[in-house]
Amino acid sequence: MSTSNKITNREVAAKQKELLFPCVATYYEEPIAFERGEGCRLWDVEGNEYLDFFGGILTVSLGHGEPRVTQAVVDQVQRLVHVSTLYPIREQVAAAERLVQISPIKGKQKAFFTSSGSEADETALVLAKVYTKTTEVIALRHSYSGRTLVAMTNTAHSKYRALPAQVPGTVHAHAPYCYRCPYGATYPSCGVRCAEDIEELVLTCTTGRPAAFFAEPILGVGGFITPPPEYFKVAVGIVRNHGGLFICDEVQTGFGRTGGTWNGIEHYGVEPDLVTYAKGIANGFPMGATLAKAEIADAFTAGSIATFGGNPVSATAAATTMAVMADERIPERAERLGARLRGRLDQLKDKYPLVGDVRGMGLMQAIELVEDRTTKAPAPAKASAFSEACKRRSLLVGKGGLYGNTVRIAPPMLVDEAQIDHACDVMDQAMAEISA
């Protein structure tokens, strides 16, 4: 491969195809190879500029190259990069202190750092099983928990299961997917049956003593499926009655993303026993974290090493990212700008029959595309065409959902009003193009 500046997107993509596992899938018919980013903007190797409304899968939480985070990381890299968890370091405790301040767990809690969301979820599941001395887990259909064997078993999305479930004792409850209610019911007259059914699930498909209920407040990869307001009180209440803990996966929903609160679960008024974080925690640097009530965390007495977990560089990036988030009042900002974005997406639904549903919270919004509003037949080809049409207009959006027909929109949270308005104008044009 040429090392000159004249390298093309196509050249990088061809090399990737030759050298990487095919499971490393990329967006777009002609994949884009990025080389530079600033705020909500990205530039590819050919010098083309894009507006990024997916933020590296909700991970560049503040924006590309956020100067305060970059400076702190540069200083840290020059000072110390790695010592392993065999030594206490102040960067890791600083990150833990910040996390405890924003966590939805009240009271004393403890953290364990890793390098990814999969590891954070895996750690939470192991700890819940160690603490409760039982091993069954209730997860949700349409959920995504990661690529490791335990996390993959939790994941209920066939596309991301390279192997059949490898961990016995995991059962999957119906998702609170109101647009495609598994019972064909309508909220609120449904009585939140998807949550109530967990009682029967526990009694029929487990020993009656589950270790935990594991759920995302908004099912991210599932297509930003947004549960109704009562869902978590009912679901968690049932599992707790049977002695189980509640593990809340805030990997996508954390850090103010859902607007108004630091965590997605706070919209539902339920306190988790364990919480997992990753993605947006360090504005793009690799970091995962599992938080647990101290009494639960203290049960994890076996040795467990994550060599890179909470390393000085990622921990500095995380602590600085969270400090900047606090200074910038990110939850309030995501609420205000999210309302602006949502208003425009609702208008798209009024205008284009192709839009079956608009859902989400804060700066985490999705539109689900259907062939027909009555049959709700999923329209994955239209979602791909929409994404390509946005790309031609230099706007990057995400895709998702079990049927591949959901467009996910989640810009870095320091996005401004003008960028939101421009992105919405582009989405309107793209929708008109694919509706024609």
CB of 70 to ligand PLP, least distance (A): 21
Question: Judged by CB, which is closer to ligand PLP: 120, or 324?
Answer: 120
CB of 7 to ligand PLP, least distance (A): 27
Q: Can you state the angle between helices 380-392 and 417-435, rounded to 10 degrees?
A: 130
Please tell me the distance from the alpha carbon of residue 362 to that of residue 33, in angstroms, as a whole number: 29
Tell me which H or E stretch contains 355. strand 355-361
CA distances from 71 to 17, 67, 320 (A): 34, 6, 10
With tokens 């995991």, the residue in question is: 170
Please tell me the distance from the alpha carbon of residue 13 to that of residue 417, in angstroms, as a whole number: 33
Question: Judged by CB, which is closer to ligand PLP: 39, or 146?
Answer: 146
Please tell me the distance from the alpha carbon of residue 290 to that of residue 117, in angstroms, as a whole number: 9
Q: Can you state the angle between helices 417-435 and 330-351, rounded to 10 degrees?
A: 20
CB of 109 to ligand PLP, least distance (A): 19
> For 331, which DSSP code?
H
Question: Judged by CB, which is closer to ligand PLP: 145, or 170?
Answer: 145
Question: Judged by CB, which is closer to ligand PLP: 264, or 331?
Answer: 264
Q: Which of 244, 228, 226, 154 is nearest to 193 (CA)?
A: 228
Beta-bridge mates of residue 277 = 289
Question: Judged by CB, which is closer to ligand PLP: 139, or 192?
Answer: 139
3-state secondary structure of 125: helix
CB of 120 to ligand PLP, least distance (A): 7
CB of 309 to ligand PLP, least distance (A): 13
How does DSSP assign 65-76, residue by residue?
T-HHHHHHHHHH
CB of 267 to ligand PLP, least distance (A): 16
Question: Judged by CB, which is closer to ligand PLP: 37, or 217?
Answer: 217
Question: Judged by CB, which is closer to ligand PLP: 176, or 379?
Answer: 176
Q: Can you state the angle between helices 90-102 and 312-327, rounded to 10 degrees?
A: 40
Convert 285-304 to b/e letters by CB count within 10 Å (16 or more is b): bbbbbbbbbeebbeebeeee
CB of 223 to ligand PLP, least distance (A): 12
CB of 252 to ligand PLP, least distance (A): 5
Question: Judged by CB, which is closer to ligand PLP: 370, or 398?
Answer: 398
CB of 307 to ligand PLP, least distance (A): 16
Please tell me the distance from the alpha carbon of residue 197 to that of residue 191, in angstroms, as a whole number: 11
Write out the two tokens for 124: 């939470």
What does the binding site for ligand PLP look like in residue numbers (CB under 6 A)? 57, 116-118, 121, 144-147, 216, 220-221, 249, 251-252, 278
Write out the two tokens for 277: 């974080």
Q: Please, what is the end-to-end C-alpha distance for the chain in angstroms? A: 41
Question: Judged by CB, which is closer to ligand PLP: 288, or 420?
Answer: 288
Which residue number is nearest to ligand PLP in terms of Cβ? 117
